[in-house]
Amino acid sequence: MQVYLNGELVEASEARVSVFDHGFLYGDGVFEGIRVYDGRVFRLDAHVDRLFDSAKAIELTIPLTRAEMKEAILATVRANGLRDAYVRPVVSRGPGALGLDPQNCARATVVIIVDSIKVYPEEFYLKGLKVITAATRRYSPDVLSARIKSLNYLNNILAKLEARRAGAAEAVMLDRNGYVAECTADNVFVVRGDKVITPPTHVGALRGVTRDVAMEAARHLGYEVREEVFTVFEMFTADECFLTGTAVEVAPVVWVDGKAVGQGAPGPVTLAIRQRFRAVTAAEGTPVWS
């Protein structure tokens, strides 16, 4: 496996970052999670734009242009020869003296990891997922914007531990007012009649790339798409509920805190959006090999 590290492709076992890197010491950095479907990188521009926006928000200078970052991602996928893959670009503040001031760090560290993708079993989509509401609240925009995809995932990890403890696939995280924000690595949607609803990002949700694709798909299928706040009450009283994310794609939720959603089985709107999502991933993308 070849890893991109500061402008070079190196063998994975040789890809090392300093213990003085502020990404390691303070979680000071940003990342992305991108999929490659059949030799094409899905929504490369959207992911690279979000990476640069996240970096801008923390005043981190990425020592590459957007075009160079895209080329580095494509070159790293090519070097690994994978037609289906998961890509993880990481940009950290770089090595520097102890102390959290980023001024101690001369240059950002840029890493791009390409790995084989562990797709979820089909059963997962046929049966649907069970989720719980986490006691751990999502942080509010006045604390740290959830739109920054940063190397600080402890808030999400604490909620993920709650899900694991409860034997649930995911944990729904609420904002400080009790409105649904997102899951630990996915966005949340509910379906009510002909309306497909997801929380606005200001409740403390990442603007997921898959969320955007699901909203486009729902509109394409003739549903009314709304960004509205809602509580878990609206999840278990909805006709359908589903999650979106790069890893999970579009996955039905059938159970929330022990209560069945709708009929307790994946619904037709979720399945139609998932099908449309799959068609989009099969048709679009930046070719890795031209």
Active site residues: 149
**Is residue 211 within the footprint of ligand PXG (CB under 6 A)?**
yes
**Distance (Å, rounded) from C-alpha 149 to C-alpha 92?**
12
Burial annotation 1-39 (CB, 10 A radius, 16+ → b, else e): ebbbbeeebeeeeebebeeebbbbbbebbbbbebbbbeb
**Is residue 240 within the footprint of ligand PXG (CB under 6 A)?**
no
**Is residue 187 within the footprint of ligand PXG (CB under 6 A)?**
yes
**Is residue 162 within the footprint of ligand PXG (CB under 6 A)?**
no
Helix (H) or strand (E) holding 227: strand 224-227
**Is residue 150 within the footprint of ligand PXG (CB under 6 A)?**
no
**Is residue 201 within the footprint of ligand PXG (CB under 6 A)?**
no
Q: Report the nearest approach of ligand PXG to the CB of residue 35 (Å).
A: 8
Angle between helical axes of 66-80 and 44-57 (0-180°, round to 10): 120
Cβ atoms of 36 and 48 closer than 8 Å:
no
Largest separation between any pair of C-alpha atoms in the chain: 57
Q: Which is nearer to ligand PXG, 105 or 248 (CB)?
A: 248
Report CA 142 to chain centroid distance, whole Å: 21
Map residue 263 onto helix, strand or coil.
coil
**Is residue 276 within the footprint of ligand PXG (CB under 6 A)?**
no
User: Which residues have C-beta within 8 Å of that of residue 208, sequence separation ≥ 6?
Assistant: 182, 186, 187, 244, 245, 246
Q: Which is nearer to ligand PXG, 95 or 204 (CB)?
A: 204
Q: Report the nearest approach of ligand PXG to the CB of residue 103 (Å).
A: 28
Q: Which is nearer to ligand PXG, 175 or 182 (CB)?
A: 182
Task: Please state the length of the chain.
Answer: 290
**Is residue 33 within the footprint of ligand PXG (CB under 6 A)?**
yes
User: Which residues have C-beta within 8 Å of that of residue 137, sequence separation ≥ 6?
Assistant: 173, 174, 175, 176
**Is residue 39 within the footprint of ligand PXG (CB under 6 A)?**
no
Q: Which is nearer to ligand PXG, 96 or 139 (CB)?
A: 139
Query: Which of these ranges, 16-24, 65-73, 227-235, 242-250, lies near ligand PXG under the rule CB under 6 A?
Result: 242-250
**Is residue 198 within the footprint of ligand PXG (CB under 6 A)?**
no
Query: Which of these ranges, 53-61, 92-100, 181-189, 194-202, lies near ligand PXG under the rule CB under 6 A?
Result: 181-189
**Is residue 155 within the footprint of ligand PXG (CB under 6 A)?**
no
H helices of the chain, in order, are: 22-26, 44-57, 66-80, 122-127, 154-166, 209-220, 232-236, 268-283
Q: Which is nearer to ligand PXG, 93 or 211 (CB)?
A: 211
**Is residue 250 within the footprint of ligand PXG (CB under 6 A)?**
no
Size of the site for ligand PXG (CB under 6 A): 15
Cβ atoms of 255 and 133 closer than 8 Å:
no
**Is residue 93 within the footprint of ligand PXG (CB under 6 A)?**
no
Interacting residues with ligand PXG (CB under 6 A) = 33, 156, 182, 185-187, 206, 208-211, 244-247
